[in-house]
């Protein structure tokens, strides 16, 4: 048997934790084998949940701590709380090679800062980038940066193209990465100086890992003609929040329309299967699990408000990044 994958889990971060975290582990452990979960948090709360969700004692170990990083903490105040919070201990286990990846649904700023304090950057990468999966008509997109860097240089955007492509290959090994820069237009002269410089550079320098497809506008992200979409963190974060808000609005309004009248209820019964497929396509829990790329170890951020099903999906992202040798792929392609 191959060595087990070890995932360090900050059990105390995010809404309704540790309950959703432990239930998420239970869901994931039933679907995936040869995984060990190193759980960090208050064992007096966690152990009854382990029993409740009937998790085998062979797949986990608990490191007890009463200290946690709160959602309202600043990144700096979270770091100053010391090295015995559940988040710090989880990241430290990754630093000490006691785990293969770390996941938290907690404070995003704290996760970034404490990760950067404990872990090294990949050589020749200047800035980390937050990336995530988005659905498209033809499969899945990797989109980055989603908020880690407000300002980026040509080199940063080029690095993001490489890292995002390596992530796509790690998650979906049969996919050929096709990179595009998120811009206000598809014409070569559109955009600010940095994005135009990056366009010129990527057009003139060919990479074995990906094909460069030029610019993409926000309304074409879901078309699926490209699958790695690169932006600075300011632009990417706005695009992400807009997409999330639009998705929630559509689902909410459709639910109202189909439950507000007898005709609507009858229509929903007739079209139940199709409506369920449509809702699932937009369900953000299916795409939960953002990856902080650029560090020499996998750091995964689960959405703080997701439920146990969403957390289980982010654990699946952890598993895939390790099995797909994400960090080695990035290093190989940077060289």
Residue range 139-153, pLDDT digits in tens:
889 999 998 888 999
**What pLDDT score was predicted for residue 265?**
64
pTM of the model: 0.87
181 three-class SS: strand
135 or 95, higher pLDDT: 95
Mean pLDDT of 110-114: 93
Looking at residue 275, what is its pLDDT? 54
Domain residue extents for the chain: 1-124+294-335, 126-287
Give pLDDT, residue 32: 92
Query: Would you say domain 1-124+294-335 falls under CATH 3.40.718.10?
Result: yes
Q: What is the pLDDT of residues 276-292, one digit of tens each?
A: 665 666 677 777 889 99
pLDDT 10s digits, 177-207:
999 999 998 877 788 899 999 999 999 998 8
Taking residues 165-177, report their average pLDDT. 92
- The percent of residues above 90 in pLDDT, for the chain, comes to 63
**Per-residue model confidence (pLDDT) at position 237:** 87
List the strands of the sheet with 139-144, edge to edge: 60-64, 35-41, 5-10, 101-104, 299-301, 290-293, 129-136, 139-144, 228-230, 178-182, 211-216
Instruction: State which of 16-25, 78-87, 271-280 shows the largest mean pLDDT.
Output: 16-25
Residue 155's pLDDT is 95
What confidence score (pLDDT) does residue 270 get?
Answer: 60
Mean residue pLDDT across the chain: 89
Q: Does domain 126-287 have CATH number 3.40.718.10?
A: yes
Alpha helices in 146-232 (DSSP H): 154-171, 193-204
Q: What is the pLDDT of residue 229?
A: 96
pLDDT score at 286: 78
User: If you average pLDDT over residues 224-247, what whole number do you get?
Assistant: 88
End-to-end distance of the chain based on CA atoms, in angstroms?
32
Residue with token string 């598809």: 186
Top pLDDT among 305 and 102 is at 102
In this predicted structure, the answer to whether residue 313 has a pLDDT above a threshold of 90 is yes
Write out pLDDT tens, residues 66-93: 999 998 889 899 888 889 999 999 999 9
Q: Print burial letters for 282-297: b (CB count within 10 Å at least 16), e (below 16).
A: bbbbebbbbbbbbbeb
Our measurement of the distance from residue 103's CA atom to the centroid of its chain's CA atoms, rounded to an integer in Å, reads 10
7-16, 144-153, 246-255, 261-270: least confident range = 261-270
Region 208-228 average pLDDT: 92
Same-fold call for 1-124+294-335 versus 126-287: yes
Rounded CA separation 207/120 (Å):
25
């Amino acid at each position: 048997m191959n060595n087990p994958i070890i995932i360090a889990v900050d059990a105390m971060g995010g809404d309704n934790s540790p309950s959703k975290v432990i239930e998420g582990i239970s869901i994931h452990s039933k679907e995936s084998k040869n995984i060990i979960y190193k759980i960090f948090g208050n064992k007096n709360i966690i152990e009854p949940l382990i029993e409740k969700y009937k998790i085998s004692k062979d797949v986990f170990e608990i490191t007890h701590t009463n200290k946690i990083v709160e959602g309202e903490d600043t990144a700096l105040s979270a770091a100053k709380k010391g090295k015995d919070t559940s988040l710090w201990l989880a990241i430290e286990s990754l630093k000490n090679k006691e785990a293969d990846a770390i996941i938290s649904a907690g404070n995003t700023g704290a996760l970034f800062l404490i990760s950067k304090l404990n872990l090294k950057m990949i050589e020749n990468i200047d800035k980390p980038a937050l990336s995530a999966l988005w659905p498209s008509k033809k499969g899945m997109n990797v989109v980055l940066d989603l908020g880690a860097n407000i300002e980026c240089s040509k080199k940063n955007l080029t690095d993001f193209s490489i890292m995002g492509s390596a992530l796509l290959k790690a998650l979906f090994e049969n996919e050929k990465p096709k990179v595009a820069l998120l811009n206000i237009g598809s014409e070569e002269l559109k955009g600010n100086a940095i994005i135009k410089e990056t366009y010129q550079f990527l057009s003139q320098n060919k990479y074995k890992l990906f094909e460069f497809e030029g610019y993409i506008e926000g309304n074409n992200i879901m078309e699926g003609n490209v699958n790695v979409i690169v932006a600075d963190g300011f632009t990417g974060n706005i695009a992400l929040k807009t997409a999330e808000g639009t998705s929630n609005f559509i689902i909410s309004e459709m639910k109202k329309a189909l439950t507000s009248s007898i005709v609507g209820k009858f229509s929903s019964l007739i079209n139940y299967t199709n409506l369920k497929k449509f809702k699932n396509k937009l369900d953000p829990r299916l795409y939960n699990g953002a990856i902080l790329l650029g560090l020499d170890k996998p750091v995964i951020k689960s959405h703080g408000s997701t439920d146990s099903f969403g957390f289980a999906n982010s654990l699946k992202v952890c598993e895939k990044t390790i099995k797909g040798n994400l960090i080695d792929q990035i290093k190989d392609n940077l060289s």
